Structure formats: C-alpha cells, structure tokens
Amino acid sequence: MNIVITIDGPAASGKSTVSRELARRLGCPWVSTGAFYRGLAYIALQMGLDFSDVDSLGRLARSPIWSVEMTAENTKVLFQGEDVSDKIAHDDVGSFASRISSYPVVRAALLEGQRRCFKPGLHLVAEGRDCGTVVFPEAAVKIYLTASSQNRAARRAQEQGSSEEQILKSQEVRDQQDSARKVAPLQIPDQALVVDTTNLSLDQAYSPGTQVCSG
Ligand code: DC
C-alpha cells in the first residue's frame, strides 16, 4: 500500500530539508506545496498583475504557461519553459505567495495539481501549511514541524545571506497571515506528531530519541 506523509509548519521550520531527506530514505518523491504559491506569485509579478485582482490570479493559476515538477532536489517551477526555481526562493516572493494564498479561488486551482503529485505505486512526502488538513486529509502519517521565530529567521537569513532582523519582521507578518486566513489556515492537523526543531540538527530531527510533543 502506498502512503502519503505530510509535513506542515510555519516558514523556515525545516520542512523542505526534512521532506527531501525523508523522501530520499524512502525512495519516493516529495513535493513542496509552497512552490505552487511561490510560482504563481512570481509569475504574477513578472506579468505585472494586480495582487488584488483575484479573478486574474485564479485564471493564471490554471494557465498552461507555467507548471510544477517534482525532482529529488526541489519542486521545480517552469515558466514558459524556463526553470525559475531559483527565483521563487527569495523571501519577497514568499511574502507575495502568502498574500495570494488567502484567496479561495487560487487555493482551489492549485489544490488539483498538488493532489496529482500522489502517483500510483509510489509513496509521497508532501510539505506545506495545509497538507495534513486539506490537501491530503487521509494521510497515513502527519507531522507538524516548528521552531522558535528567532531560530527560523536565523536559518533563513543564513541561507539567503540577508539581514536576520528583516527576515524576522517579514516572517512574523507571514506567520500571522498564514495562520489567520479563513481558508486552510496553518494549523496542527489532528493526530499530528509535533516536532520542535529549535535545538535539533537534521540528523537529530530523524533520530528515534527525538522529543515528540503531542499533536
Ligand atoms: O512553504 P513556503 O515558505 O514555500 O510557502 C510560501 C507561502 O505559500 C506561505 O507563506 C503560504 C503559502 N502556502 C500555503 O498557503 N499553503 C501551503 N500548503 C503551502 C504554502
């Protein structure tokens, strides 16, 4: 039987790193559902779309001019055939992605593509904000990763070579937006294992001795 493992959590909590490694160990694909929102936000920016024009964003979400592809390393976004995965990684794109992720029409359009990532005959590791609650509510294993705000901002600042203070500010706005939105907010799924990675290395996050809080 093939199963889905979901890993949800706030920005920079280590979801992608843990998902990539878990998928490698299981020999299955993994998907960052955030890449769908980031991809759409990046392309909307490139096209000069008004971020309050919900109808146009909904149409763009379903447009064939862009697509998402799973690879072992990352979740690739292709725009008019060009790989723009590096460009969507920036913190500013994350902030725009968070903004448009509150629109139900956008979420509904992207949900279909996210669910199609579960392919017959293969397990799937899916990470994001609502993977265990909305995208794959029947997932066999649900994990919620978290870490202190300071720690998450420090990780992201190091990755991107930008100011920790600036990242902390934008992260607070993003956490608030993602948790407070009406549709599919960031929350701990029922029966999820909650893992706080604040003081854990990647290896420790996998170790059987890891402190797991109740979900
Ligand atoms: O995980 P990430 O930082 O790449 O996600 C970018 C934004 O996309 C995040 O702030 C909110 C949105 N998102 C979402 O609403 N639902 C998901 N399942 C994944 C991401």
34 lines ligand 1 (CB under 6 A): yes
Mutate to test the pocket of ligand 1, among 100, 101, 127, 156 (most ligand atoms within 8 A of CB): 101
More confident residue, 211 or 112: 112
The topology under which CATH files domain 4-204 is Rossmann fold (3.40.50)
User: Is 129 close to ligand 1, i.e. is its CB under 6 Å away?
Assistant: yes
Residue 188: pLDDT above 90?
Answer: yes
Count Cβ atoms below 10 Å from residue 168 Cβ, excluding itself: 16
Which residue matches tokens 């799973």? 70
* Spatial contact of 100 and 94, defined as CB atoms under 8 Å apart: no
CA distance 77 to 161: 22
Answer whether 33 contacts ligand 1 (Cβ < 6 A). yes
Q: Is 33 helix (H, G, I), strand (E, B) or coil?
A: coil
Q: Which atom belonging to ligand 1 lies closest to the Cα atom of 15?
A: 1
Give the separation between CA 117 and CA 68, rounded to whole angstroms: 10
pLDDT in tens, 35-46: 999 999 999 999
Q: How many helices and strands in the chain, by DSSP H and E?
A: 9, 9
Whether ligand 1 lies within 6 angstroms of the CB of 130 is answered as yes
In the structure, what pLDDT confidence band is assigned to residue 120 with cuts at 50, 70 and 90? Answer: very high
**Which of 17, 4, 6, 24 shows the shortest CA–CA distance to 189?**
6
Q: pLDDT digits over 174-183, tens only? A: 999 999 999 9
C-beta 98 within 6 A of ligand 1: yes
The one-letter amino acid code at 40 reads L
Q: Which atom of ligand 1 is nearest to the CA of 8?
A: 18
